[in-house]
Structures are given as C-alpha cells and as structure tokens.
Amino acid sequence: MRDAAPVSTPPRVLPPNDPRQYDDLAGEWWRTDGAFAMLHWLARARAALVPPASRPGALLVDLGCGAGLLAPHLVGKGYRHVGLDLTRSALAQAAAHGVTVVNSDATAVPLADGCADVVSAGELLEHVPDWRRAVAEACRLLRPGGLLVLDTLNDTALARLVAVEIGERLPTVPRGIHDPRLFVDARELIAECAMHGVELRLRGIRPELRGTLGWLLRRMRGGSARRPVGTEAGREPRIVPTRSTAVLYQGRGLRGG
Ligand SMILES: C[S@@+](CC[C@H](N)C(=O)[O-])C[C@H]1O[C@@H](n2cnc3c(N)ncnc32)[C@H](O)[C@@H]1O
C-alpha cells in the first residue's frame, strides 16, 4: 500500500484586523526578517523618544505590547516595563524577554490612575475599534508630567494605498492585519489627547528608502532568512522623519499637572 500524500493545512483566512491573526503569526514576532520585521524598526524609533528614567522604580506601560519588541531598546534606561495585550501567545514571548505582562484590552486597563512615567502605544491604535477609549486609558495611566509616545497610521487615502494596497503585498506587513476603517485621523488624535490633558506633537515617519530596498532584495534572495535575532541591527532599515503625517506618524506628549 502506498503512503498517503501529506496533507498541508491551508492558513485560515480571518477577517481584516482579527486578533487571532497574531496567534497564527506567533512564530514571526522575533524574526527580524519575518512578517513583523517593520515592527522591529519602529520599536527602535519609538524607544528613541523615551528618555532615561528620572527616578528609581519608574514605570513604562506598553499598551498593545505584542511580543515585547520594545524591550531590547529600553535596556539601560531604568524602567520597569509592563506590557499589556489581548493576545496571550504574544504575551508569553514578551514575558520571556523580561516584560511584566498583563492580558487585557487597552480600552479597559486594570492599572491605577497616574501609575506610569511613560505610556507607549506602538502600532496599536489603528487596531482598536474604539481608539478614543484606548487614548483615554493611556492618558489616565500617566502621572502628571508623564510622557506618552505612540505611532500609528493616518486615516487617509494615501495611508490606505501605502500601508494596505502596497504594504500588505510586501514581506514587511502581514496581509489582512489592518482594517483601514480603523486608521486614526491625526487631528482627531491630537484633539482627543488634549481633552485628556496631553499635548501631543506629531511628526511623519517612514522607513528609509535605500535601506528598505536593500532589505527587500536580501529578503527576496533569502540572504538573511536564517540570520539569528539580534545580528541584523546594523543592516536594519532606519525609520526617519518625513514632512508629511499622511501615512505613518509618531506622537509624543507630556501630561499636564
Ligand atoms: C501591530 S501589533 C504591535 C505590537 C507592538 N506594539 C509592537 O510594535 O511590536 C498590535 C498589537 O496590538 C494588540 N491589540 C490589538 N487590539 C488590542 C486591544 N484592544 N487591546 C490590547 N491589545 C490589542 C495585538 O494583539 C497586537 O499584539
């Protein structure tokens, strides 16, 4: 009798922005050439906005922390890094990278008012149906003088074109991970933060072009496919400022006293 041909299970197709996609992609988080590669570049750029802690025991709350990609970039800055996320499989990896994890929705955070010196919301708001509620929570967690840092996608036709129509066809962004109806209007975000006592300043950001093209070519040739995590840093495309906030933007703001 012949052996039956192995049956491969096709990847399940989930609706756009369905959080179960993060479970299906759990093996990708820490691959610097994997489906979440760009999150590594963005984590480096976000961490650059965070100054060293100003007091012992300072707390940084990382909303939607995923697998904790921010953690290596905070080393030496003196924060206790608490990460909150909906996805348990991601939190298990964050915990393995030294993050104290909380399994919760960013719109209802089980932490005290004013507990955080820094709140980070990296690539989170564009995934949350009620992003205003998540912003309110981020601001609530900040102590007076505390710092909010975030990055997200703008609610523009250009962002839909670049991040979804083009981006999700490239190996840097998983297909179906975004629902463009949730993208966050930059002016509305500033207004929402102001309502909660945080004066947010924005700047447009993008991956540098040459480095990204080089990365894509290496990736297509399979050049770095088996490179262990951490050896790519020098070759990783940098995130650079750009004049327009129409696609991807970073925000930074202090909570008033
Ligand atoms: C694009 S990933 C970004 C992860 C991480 N901030 C980073 O930059 O590497 C979005 C993360 O947000 C989480 N997420 C989505 N909606 C959420 C919600 N309502 N509350 C908490 N986490 C959420 C997902 O599980 C996922 O880990």
Ligand 1 contact via 69 beta carbon (within 6 Å): yes
Please write the tens of the pLDDT for every residue from 47-79.
Answer: 999 999 999 999 999 999 999 999 999 999 999
User: Residue 66: which region, alpha, beta or left (left: phi > 0; alpha: psi -120 to 50)?
Assistant: left
| Cα(125) to centroid(ligand 1), Å | 8
pLDDT at residue 10, as a whole number:
54
| Cα(123) to centroid(ligand 1), Å | 7
Please write the tens of the pLDDT for every residue from 3-19.
Answer: 444 455 556 789 999 99
Quick check: pTM over 0.85?
yes
Beta strands in the chain (DSSP E): 59-63, 80-85, 100-103, 116-122, 142-153, 198-207, 239-242, 248-255
Mean pLDDT, residues 142-167 taken together? 97
pLDDT at residue 110, as a whole number:
98
Q: For residue 248, is pLDDT > 90?
A: yes
pLDDT at residue 217, as a whole number:
87
pLDDT at residue 234, as a whole number:
52
Please write the tens of the pLDDT for every residue from 110-135.
Answer: 999 999 999 999 999 999 999 999 99
| Cα(131) to centroid(ligand 1), Å | 12
Ligand 1 contact via 126 beta carbon (within 6 Å): no
Q: Whose CA is nearest to atom 12 of ligand 1?
A: 64
pLDDT at residue 231, as a whole number:
42
Ligand 1 contact via 106 beta carbon (within 6 Å): yes
Question: Would you say 93 and 29 are in contact if contact means Cβ atoms under 8 Å apart?
Answer: yes
Ligand 1 contact via 123 beta carbon (within 6 Å): yes
pLDDT at residue 246, as a whole number:
98
More confident residue, 145 or 169: 145
> 3-state DSSP call for residue 214?
helix
Please write the tens of the pLDDT for every residue from 193-228.
Answer: 999 999 999 999 999 999 999 888 888 887 554 444
Give percent above pLDDT 90 in the chain: 80
Q: Whose CA is nearest to atom 11 of ligand 1?
A: 64
The single-letter DSSP state of residue 162 is I
Ligand 1 contact via 43 beta carbon (within 6 Å): yes
